């Protein structure tokens, strides 16, 4: 009899557990510092983020199919934190958004693609090369190697047309975020913050007939003439990667740190309010 009572209680509790909902609110901001002034070493190129299967928060049809509801600004609970960041000289908030979703596993929870900030496509090519520098070198967008796109229908990578690549926006902030439940709440985030800077490029070599052979930066091929690399400094749009996964508690405000940016996340369980 006791086992029957426990079974009935379990059956009664299942619908309420399945109906558990979460409000997720996110602020992403950048630090107003020169990346070159940090102690970090940053690569000129980063591996492209895979956006296959991602969903945008403005695609209402896809959101409705997945039971996702975008959060209107009137429901934000982190507005005070946003205003503090905005009024602080050391930070620039880039985006403030939120949504409501159910108790979803990693396989079920949608991954949202987001973009924010300035569009650099008028100044730079998709690989980060300055358009002014490309013009000086006699290049155009069709000369630059573009990464392949991912075809969701076939599941295969396909080459991207140069004209399509040249027309794509190049946002200051671009990336993806997923929140899911696996006993605990988890946030999985990959973001690229793009900042104009400078880089050194090798543009050729020159003989060292009149130079000291011991000078640094020289190379010698067998018994051939010793040469020196010709290096120029050019303007370049560099991407700085933010890649973090964090376990979280509902009702708490979490801060994810990075030398150049940060993210404030609050996940609120509706039935706990």
Give the mean pLDDT of 151-173.
61
Q: How confident is the model at residue 18 (pLDDT cuts 50, 70, 90)?
A: low
CA distance 241 to 35: 12
Bridge partners of residue 201, in order along the sequence: 232
pLDDT of amino acid 225: 63
Query: What's the pLDDT band for 59 if we cut at 50, 70, 90?
Result: very high
pLDDT confidence tier of residue 241, bands split at 50, 70 and 90: very high
* Nearest-angstrom CA–CA distance, 102 and 109: 8
Residue-wise burial string across 206-223, b where 16 or more C-beta atoms lie within 10 A, e elsewhere: eebeeeeeeeeeeeeeee
* Mean of the per-residue pLDDT values of the chain: 82
In angstroms, the CA 263 to CA 96 distance is: 10
Alpha-carbon span 116 to 172, nearest angstrom: 6
Cα gap 50→178, rounded to integer Å: 13
Cα(96)–Cα(86) distance, integer angstroms: 11
């Amino acid at each position: 009899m006791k086992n029957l009572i426990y079974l009935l209680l379990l059956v009664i509790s299942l619908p309420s557990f399945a109906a558990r909902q979460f409000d997720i609110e996110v602020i992403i901001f950048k630090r107003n510092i020169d990346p070159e002034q940090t102690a970090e070493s940053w690569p000129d190129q980063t591996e492209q983020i895979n956006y296959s299967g991602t969903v945008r928060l403005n695609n209402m049809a896809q959101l409705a199919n997945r039971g996702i509801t975008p959060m209107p600004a009137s429901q934000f609970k982190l507005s005070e934190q946003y205003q503090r960041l905005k009024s602080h000289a050391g930070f620039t908030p880039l985006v403030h958004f939120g949504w409501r979703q159910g108790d979803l596993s990693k396989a079920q929870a949608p991954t949202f693609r987001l973009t924010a900030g300035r569009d650099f496509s008028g100044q730079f090519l998709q690989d980060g090369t300055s358009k002014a520098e490309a013009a000086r070198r006699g290049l155009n967008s069709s000369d630059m190697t573009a990464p392949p796109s991912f075809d969701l229908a076939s599941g295969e990578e396909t080459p991207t047309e140069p004209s399509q690549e040249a027309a794509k926006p190049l946002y200051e902030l671009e990336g993806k975020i997923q929140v899911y439940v696996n006993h605990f709440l988890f946030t999985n985030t990959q973001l690229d913050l793009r900042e104009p800077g400078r880089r050194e490029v090798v543009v050729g070599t020159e003989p060292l007939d009149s130079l000291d052979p011991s000078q640094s930066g020289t190379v010698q091929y067998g018994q051939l003439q010793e040469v020196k690399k010709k290096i120029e400094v050019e303007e370049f749009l560099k991407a700085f990667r933010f890649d973090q996964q964090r376990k979280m508690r509902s009702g708490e405000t979490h801060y994810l740190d990075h030398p150049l940016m940060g993210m404030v996340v609050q996940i609120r369980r509706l039935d706990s309010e």
